[in-house]
């Protein structure tokens, strides 16, 4: 069975550019989570969706960040405009509502110069 799929795996962009990260959750899962991992702050939850609806976006750092989930098999995390401090590894995870287990994708390493 395919796990969570993320693209791209690596992204290098210049400050001020728009960045879009993509995620395909595990088929049948109805919860989707976006995380950011840095050395300083570890793994932080940015936003999560249940049945394609954003439930909690309190972890989104600021208005430059936005996330969408137009259908059960696709989600995007957009940063516009990007800044060097956004450099991090961004993970998508999926699960089933009512269960605690979350399954992570391989991540997108973002570098903003």
Partner 1 sequence: GQQLNQSPQSMFIQEGEDVSMNCTSSSIFNTWLWYKQDPGEGPVLLIALYKAGELTSNGRLTAQFGITRKDSFLNISASIPSDVGIYFCAGVGTASKLTFGTGTRLQVTL
Binding site for partner 1 (CB under 8 A): 4, 31, 33, 41-45, 48, 55-56, 59, 91, 93, 95, 97, 99-107, 109
CB 111 within 8 A of CB 17: no
CB nearer to partner 1: give 2 or 41.
41
CB nearer to partner 1: give 69 or 105.
105
> Least distance in Å: CB of 75 to partner 1?
15
What is the b/e burial string over 61-88, where b = at least 16 CB atoms within 10 angstroms of the residue's CB?
A: eeeebebebeebeebebebeebeeebbb
> Least distance in Å: CB of 16 to partner 1?
27
User: What are the residues facing 19 on neighbouring strands?
Assistant: 79
């Amino acid at each position: 069975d395919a796990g969570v799929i993320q693209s791209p795996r690596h992204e290098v962009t210049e400050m001020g550019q728009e960045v879009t990260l993509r995620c395909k959750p595990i088929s049948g899962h109805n919860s989707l989570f976006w995380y950011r991992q840095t050395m300083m702050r570890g793994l932080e939850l940015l936003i999560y969706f249940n049945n394609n609806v954003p439930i909690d976006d309190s972890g989104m750092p600021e208005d430059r960040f936005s996330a969408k989930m137009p259908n059960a098999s696709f989600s995007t995390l957009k940063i516009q405009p990007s800044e060097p401090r956004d450099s991090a590894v961004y993970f998508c995870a999926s699960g089933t509502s009512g269960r605690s287990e979350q399954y992570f994708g391989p991540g997108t390493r973002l570098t903003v110069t």
